[in-house]
Amino acid sequence: MSRTSLRRVASVAAATTLLAGGLFATATTASAQSSILGDFGSSASLPDIPASATVKVDNLSITKSIVGSNSIAIDGTVTYRTTISVTDGPDRLIKRLVDLNPIGLVYVEGSATVTAWQNGELATAYVDASASADVGVALDNAAGWLVSAIGNKSVTFEVTYSVKEFNFNPGIFDSGLAIEVDGMAELEWPAMGVKLNLVGSGNSIFSS
């Protein structure tokens, strides 16, 4: 069975269903959003190693990026941010998010946040996520996160991993995403082209 298939099977088992009423814990309003999300820019240390990628399906636009530089030391952390929006109608409900990280990264417990439309405004909240070494980090929302072109309602999912237990030599590692949208088939991109440049000591050309 391919890694992609293994990811899909494992992600179903790993995802945690969150009750709509209890999804957002410790929510902050949109006016305080920047305090959690920080800088939205991504910057690759090497121009041929992209830190961000965008895919489009129907009226959906999905962008995944590494926050800050994508050259990460072997004892550091890396944060991935995914934003889902629509270019026009119809509205969409995002029922499931799965961050497909390079195998070997370790989820930093409590780091996952979702910024979405909640109670009439965009709000950011830390959320309980289900992490799996073979999958990444998964979130389910039975009610769905609203994405709409009206009022620029988007969904942003952010998660941080530690690379200190990464069992690979320094090099370049891709990452991806899987989502479920109400009324659509499951969408999955195992390798989106959002690349982590893992650096460390030794003879690797990516050393620093």
In a domain, 27, yes or no: yes
In a domain, 199, yes or no: no
Distances (CA, A) of 171 to 57, 80, 182, 200, 206: 31, 18, 37, 9, 6
Residue 2: count other Cβ atoms within 10 Å of its Cβ.
8
What are residue 4's phi and psi, to 5 degrees? -60, -45
What is the spatial distance between Cα 136 and Cα 127, in angstroms, rounded to a whole number? 15
Segment holding 25, helix H or strand E: strand 25-29
CA 160 to the chain's CA centroid: 9
CA angle 121, 127, 130 (to 5 degrees): 140
In a domain, 205, yes or no: no
In a domain, 183, yes or no: yes
In a domain, 84, yes or no: yes
Output the six-digit token pair for 84: 């889902």
In a domain, 203, yes or no: no
- Give pLDDT, residue 7: 41
Output the six-digit token pair for 139: 């979130």
- Give pLDDT, residue 164: 74
- Give pLDDT, residue 75: 85
For residue 123, give its domain range.
3-194
Please give the DSSP secondary-structure letter assigned to residue 109.
Answer: T
Q: Strands 17-18 and 25-29: what pairing?
A: unpaired
CA 71 to the chain's CA centroid: 18
Count structural domains, the chain.
Answer: 1
In a domain, 173, yes or no: yes
CATH of the domain at 165: 2.60.40.1170
- Give pLDDT, residue 135: 72
- Give pLDDT, residue 166: 65
Taking alpha carbons only, the member of 77, 84, 83 closest to residue 41 is 83
In a domain, 118, yes or no: yes
Distances (CA, A) of 19 to 22, 64, 139, 182: 5, 26, 11, 16
Please identify every stretch of the chain with a pLDDT value under 70, giving residue numbers as ranges.
1-47, 165-168, 201-208
